[in-house]
Structure 1
Amino acid sequence: MPYTAERPVARESSVALRARIPGWGVDLDPADRPSVPRERFDPAGTGARWRFPERQEVQGPRERSIEHAQLPPVFGTAVPLRGLSGAIRRLAYRRFSEARAVHWLLLILGDRVDALGSHVRSFATLRPDNPITQTGVLSEVRRRGFSSRFGRGRADVRHQWMDPLIVAGPWVLAAAVVAVVVRGVARRR
């Protein structure tokens, strides 16, 4: 509305709005608000028979954020930390707050180190990782990967040139290292 010399129109009152718009202001009265029972503190209304829940038994050292004085009553124990990736994750929890980016970057680094260790360990098994099938390269050819990327306004088109470097780069680098090592061993013989 443009500014004019006339006095602005007064806002309608709550009573007028309620009369004109069905359901307007339904939550103004706290008695009518559906969330009001949750806003009131009523320990007897929850059915809880404890002041603080029983604590899960801690077996071995656990990671906890430096913001918290103790572990929560229940916590996950699916994947215990081990090796270099575990040391990186422990460092993230021991030294840095969850509010700092370095905490999360260290956790991501620990995850990447763990993934690399899993790839290396897979070569010692009868079924090593297969980068061709596990990276989805074949589906790019079979499932119209090229035509789905262009002319559709996708945001990932800008950085898709990096995808082969990120996905295939470590495999190519590992193959080059193995080739250099094998060549060096062959020359010594």
Structure 2
Amino acid sequence: MTEPATPYTAGKPATPDASVALRARIPGWGVDLDPKDRPSFPREQPGIATGAHWKFPDRQPEEQPRERSIEHAMLTPVFGTSVPLRGASGVIRRYAYGRFSEGRAAHWLLLIAADRVDAWENHLKSLASLRPDNPITETGIGSEFSGNGFTSRTGNRVDVNHSWMDPVIVAGPWVLAGLAGAAVFRAVRRRV
């Protein structure tokens, strides 16, 4: 297989445009062109081996569309398929990858929001199953009462300032879900 011109090859990819054109088009491009501004410059001189000795590997087949950065023309030769995108969280992730560069805060904030949506999707799926999540054991609250759990939270720790919020953040959604479930149950019982 021939080596395509991509960032996934062992050699340094050639710059597609002249530095003057890139500097005019991209704000801040070329700030490190002066060798005095680059601590790695001695290793970048021509003739110094990079240590990377490999050929472009065979491409993994893309059986379903995968998310990728808009900065890259193609996916890496090998990519993970263990957790395909699904549900509302998958829609949010596709939008983050399809619309925003990895250098934008919106990209990462959307991915964080997608993680939260994914957690709620899995909580709801768990509640609909025969074995729902157990918030008491899965949050590790039992360790607070054994092995010096409470005393380890006091003293000279950085996170002591917000430790009072942890029970609210962890238990709050479950309490709200329980109250909502009770309200729905009462409303259904009144109609019947």
User: Please, what TM-score do these two structures have when normalized by structure 1?
Assistant: 0.72
1:79-120 deviations in whole A, cap 9, x for unaligned?
A: 110110100110110111111121111111111111111111
Which residue matches 1:86?
90
Cα distance, 1:125 vs. partner?
2.2
Give yes or no for the alignment of 1:157 onto 2:142.
Answer: no
Amino acid at match of 2:185: V
Question: For 1:181 and 1:68, how far apart are their aligned partners in 2?
Answer: 48
1:60-88 deviations in whole A, cap 9, x for unaligned?
A: 11111011111111111111101101001
Match of 1:74 among 75, 78, 85: 78
Which residue matches 1:172?
175
Question: For 2:137 and 2:181, how far apart are their aligned partners in 1?
Answer: 21
Which residue matches 2:9?
none
Match of 2:128 among 124, 132, 136: 124
Runs of 4+ with >6 A deviation:
none
Cα distance, 1:42 vs. partner?
7.6
Deviates more, 1:80-89 or 1:95-104: 95-104
Which residue matches 1:3?
none
1:24-43 correspondence to structure 2 within 5 Å: 40-41=48-49
Which residue matches 2:21?
none
Which residue matches 1:65?
69
Count of residues in correspondence between the two structures = 148
User: Please, what TM-score do these two structures have when normalized by structure 2?
Assistant: 0.71
SS of match in other structure, 1:94: helix
SS of match in other structure, 1:122: helix
Give yes or no for the alignment of 1:186 onto 2:192.
Answer: no
Cα distance, 1:53 vs. partner?
2.5
Amino acid at match of 1:58: E
Question: Relative to 1, partners in 2 of residues 1:150 and 1:53: Cα closer, same or farther, differing over 3 Å?
Answer: same
1:5-44 deviations in whole A, cap 9, x for unaligned?
A: xxxxxxxxxxxxxxxxxxxxxxxxxxxxxx89xx72489x
Structure 1 gap ranges (5+): 1-34
